[in-house]
């Protein structure tokens, strides 16, 4: 929220990049909010509304990920941090792209699985904040080390756990 509300202390490190952080956060919030509605409509069988929202979700991810790449590769924190966030952006595009490909091939179950992965990546910023918060409370590492680790753990671990859950269901069926 400090980026959406333009909190001066949070915006200091984005001098010259305010447009990019605002675009990334505000458009990313659209994807974040559309995701649960998408899920509900899909399970209710309301596919016309679902399809329209899917296009909004896709456009939001496309625009927000472009901004995320710019921010990741112009960060002044560290190259490890930038690569972690760049990986998050790549995961965002690829998981969403696979969901689109699956639905175009009329593979509804695969589409749902890839959309689950996509939304987990969309939630990456939440996992990022939780990871940084927990490691801060326990005073693990320096702030820069926490940020670097969080830039990778915020998407890699949630995707791993989701994958185990998705594949476990298939193995036990």
Instruction: Name the band, by pLDDT with cuts 50, 70 and 90, for residue 6.
Output: low
pLDDT for residue 41: 74
pLDDT tens, residue by residue, 43-53:
676 665 678 88
Structure tokens at 19: 């447009």
Instruction: Name the band, by pLDDT with cuts 50, 70 and 90, for residue 37.
Output: confident
Residue 8 has pLDDT above 80, yes or no: no
Buried b (16+ CB within 10 A) or exposed e, 69-79: bbbbeebebee
Structure tokens at 28: 């990313």
Mean pLDDT of the chain: 90
Mean pLDDT computed over 14-42: 87
Residue 2 has pLDDT above 70, yes or no: no
pLDDT for residue 43: 65
Q: What percent of the chain has pLDDT over 90?
A: 73
Rounded to 5°, angle at Cα 122 from 118 and 124: 115
pLDDT for residue 3: 55
pLDDT tens, residue by residue, 75-129:
999 999 999 999 999 999 999 999 999 999 999 999 999 999 999 999 999 999 9
Prediction pTM value: 0.88
Q: What percent of the chain has pLDDT over 70?
A: 90
Helix, strand, coil abundance in the chain, percent, nearest 5: 85, 0, 15
Positive/negative CA dihedral, 8, 1, 147, 15:
negative
Torsion angle defined by CA atoms of residues 125, 94, 32 and 152, in that order, rounded to the nearest 10 degrees = -10
Instruction: Give Cα separations from 69 to 60, 63, 142, 149 (angstroms).
Output: 14, 10, 25, 18
Residue 69 has pLDDT above 70, yes or no: yes
- Other beta carbons within 10 angstroms of residue 96's beta carbon come to 25
């Amino acid at each position: 929220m400090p980026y959406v509300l333009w909190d001066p202390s949070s915006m200091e490190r984005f001098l010259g990049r305010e447009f990019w952080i605002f675009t990334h956060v505000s458009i990313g919030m659209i994807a974040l909010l559309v995701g649960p509605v998408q899920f509900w409509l899909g399970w209710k069988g309301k596919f016309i509304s679902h399809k329209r929202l899917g296009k909004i979700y896709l456009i939001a991810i496309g625009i927000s990920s472009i901004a995320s790449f710019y921010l990741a590769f112009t960060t002044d924190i560290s190259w490890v941090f930038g690569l972690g966030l760049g990986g998050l952006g790549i995961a965002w595009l690829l998981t969403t792209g696979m969901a689109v490909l699956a639905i175009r091939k009329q593979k509804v179950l695969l589409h749902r699985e890839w959309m689950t992965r996509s939304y987990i990546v969309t939630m990456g910023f939440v996992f990022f904040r939780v990871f940084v918060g927990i490691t801060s409370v326990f005073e693990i590492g320096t702030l820069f080390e926490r940020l670097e680790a969080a830039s990778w753990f915020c998407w890699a671990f949630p995707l791993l756990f989701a994958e185990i859950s998705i594949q476990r269901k298939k193995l036990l069926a």
